Chain A
């Protein structure tokens, strides 16, 4: 094939689809082709064109074994390559286990924060784990209640600075990063931490916040 492709043009299209173009032969490759690659360099981060630019792939008999096919060490990641499904990408999973303490419980538990995608999921799981300790899900707007002297518990956590914070203020991912341990605090003690009602509506579960 000659190096230049004839551009599709109105004149050639009127001649019909079936090109009698002798450039498309069914003979063995390597006879006349130059085999220049087209359309790659801007889509693929690899640069396989070495200084000699002889296409090593076109004719085995002229195969040059120069090292210009060795890609540079630092390269851009190609979209969709290698072809692995999203569910397989992070097989060696990062886990973040933190201790969970509940006031009044005889022992602590541990949860892997990476297992959850939002505050809702975490709190749901904690409810399962400590099912006899009703956790006040104050994040759910419909459950807005006054802090009462009941047996409800408020979810709090210790952050990297060592401060005890109310769960739910920061975006989920930020929380996962900064949380060192969790404590379900008796509501009575947590009264000072509870947000004011007017601010309540803006607090959303982390992964869904804008």
Chain B
């Protein structure tokens, strides 16, 4: 006898299930569960905007309130994807404007967002609350002004921001904006966060006119996040902090000024008043004399982004060792091994460390930062599980130590700046070191490789990295066997990005079915032939096989010629229709 709950009961039960994975799972149980689930889904994440079409999403999920979309492949961050590739959000906005008038949240990453799209958003969604544009491009302050104007005053009650305050800010911004500037291009990698509670848009700060609006920001008891533009000078910071002492996240503007005691004490006083401060960033053009002003707030700080702070190790050490509760640190390699030793000794709660190169194009190296710094932190910080580390030398022994110290590692991205660098002590490849990482760190879900690597490392990865979801490879491997190990062994693999490796047709064609279980595969400057791409495209209808070649049509060259760039992704929407002139899809016309 088949029992079934009434739909209302199922719906109520499903309301406790939030993660995409779980929701996807329950929708597979049976048809009635599928139906109840799809009507009750409110939030969706689409990792590749071309994997599905707006129409398909809307047909399946008629009541969405929150949509997240990602566009370009990750390597677009490093200029490997030419302009005009795609990822325009407009078709999505146009479709959702009709289908989801109650849409509240939109989160976009690596997409092209025009002012037209922003204006459409601002007109179409009466309940719109959250807009996050991360690494997007194509918009100007005109578009953001439309958002500010039309979406103001509608934030939810619990934010406790009176509509008067917000309206006056938005109006101020608009009227001054149109009076003085025709168009102002925001920097491409700008992050904009308009939500409830309010965050502030970095570049708008640039255009404040103190004489007409001296009371900015309005008294916003709910202002939680404030990130200033680099152009906002340091002497304005104390005043801003005094108006928003409940700030949780602060991004300073330029942290430099001539040393004046009254500015210093004003700043220190303002910081000591900010009892809720948990996150600090900004710190452009830092003058070390002013850093101690931050010390009163340090004991509460859990996230510190000093990746633009060009200060030397001693000053960094003084600051970082004040932050006993630090969980996340982003810093330049000026911190050096000595600074990382101090970090390891003081910050026992550290979970994430990112060390960026101060001089990425200088092959000689300008700082005393070596593999030893990372080993120290891995020893001293038991909760460390996420690492991004740029350095110039490495040894297998160091990697083995790190692996044994931190079996809880989940994200490990190592970039040895010089491609194909050997273990500098033994002169061997770094296969064994990375092998230890994947063997000991059983929960590893993201890995980036560098240094000299043979097919052996891929064998280790294929054998051990069973939870690996994203792998980035550059200048590594000997041949197809390496790629075959990864594609056949890494059960959880979703994203694979490869550049400048001698991987050719065989592994790709032999593992074609695997590609349908992944979100995407990127291969550039490898040895995949045009013929193989065509074959793959023909045989795998649910894969979009896109060849990118700025040298011209791939069929104007022999089929055995390697393609420049290859982007393969699974899709239920078929080949896309917005490809630029340098992208070809390998689909036979049906």
Is there an interface contact between A115 and B358, defined as CB atoms closer than 8 Å?
Answer: no
CA A83 to CA B212, docked complex, whole Å:
44
> Contacting chain B: which of A53-61, A100-108, A170-178, A180-188?
A53-61
Which stretch of A124-132, A147-155, A194-202 is in the interface?
A: A124-132
Residues from chain A with a CB closer than 8 A to the CB of B187 are 87
| B482, closest chain A residue (CB) | A29
Q: Chain A: interface residue count, which band? A: 35 or more
Name the residue of chain B whose CB is nearest to the CB of A58. Answer: B478
Cross-chain contact A82 with B180 (CB below 8 angstroms):
no
Collect the chain A residues with CB atoms within 8 Å of residue B349's CB: none
Closest chain B residue, CB of each to CB of A142: B182
Please determine whether B452 and A7 come into contact, CB atoms closer than 8 angstroms: no
**Is B531 an interface residue when CB atoms closer than 8 A count as contact?**
yes
Contact of B510 among A24, A43, A80, A84 (CB under 8 A): A24
What is the number of contacts between chain A and chain B, taking CB atoms within 8 Å? Answer: 184
Q: Say yes or no: A24 contacts B481, CB within 8 Å.
A: yes
Cβ–Cβ contact A37 & B560, under 8 A? no
Shortest Cβ distance from residue B188 to the other chain A in the assembled complex, whole angstroms: 7
- In the assembled complex, A163 has its CB within 8 A of some CB on chain B: no
| With contact pairs A39-B525, A83-B77 given, residues A17 and B535 touching in the complex (Cβ less than 8 Å) | yes
Q: Does B39 contact A (CB under 8 A)?
A: no
Q: For A79, list chain B residues within 8 Å (CB).
A: 78-80
Tell me the nearest residue of chain B to A84, going by C-beta.
Answer: B360
CB–CB A95/B419 < 8 A: no
| A161 lies within 8 A of chain B by Cβ | no
A35 touches B79 (CB 8 A): no
Q: Judging by beta carbons under 8 Å apart, are A82 and B357 in contact?
A: yes
Judge whether B588 is part of the interface by a CB distance below 8 angstroms: no
Q: Mark A56-94, 1 if CB is under 8 A from B, else 0.
A: 011010010100010100010111111111111101110
Residues of B355-399 whose CB lies within 8 A of A: 356-361, 363, 390
| Residues from 491 to 540 in B contacting A, C-beta threshold 8 Å | 499-500, 502, 504-507, 509-510, 512, 525-527, 529, 531-532, 535, 539
- Tell me, in angstroms, the Cα distance from A63 to B559 when the chains sit together: 36
**B residues neighboring A (CB under 8 Å):** 75, 77-80, 135, 180-182, 184-185, 187-189, 206-212, 230-231, 284-285, 307-308, 310, 332, 356-361, 363, 390, 415, 417-420, 422, 427-429, 431, 452-456, 459, 472, 474-475, 478-481, 484, 499-500, 502, 504-507, 509-510, 512, 525-527, 529, 531-532, 535, 539, 559-560, 562
Seed contacts A82-B357, A85-B78; 16 additional CB < 8 Å A-B pairs: A5-B505, A8-B532, A8-B559, A17-B539, A38-B502, A38-B527, A40-B525, A46-B420, A55-B478, A57-B454, A60-B429, A65-B427, A71-B418, A80-B80, A88-B307, A131-B209
18 contacts between A and B (CB under 8 A): A1-B479, A8-B505, A8-B531, A25-B481, A26-B484, A29-B459, A29-B478, A35-B455, A43-B500, A48-B420, A58-B455, A63-B427, A71-B418, A78-B419, A79-B80, A82-B357, A93-B285, A121-B206
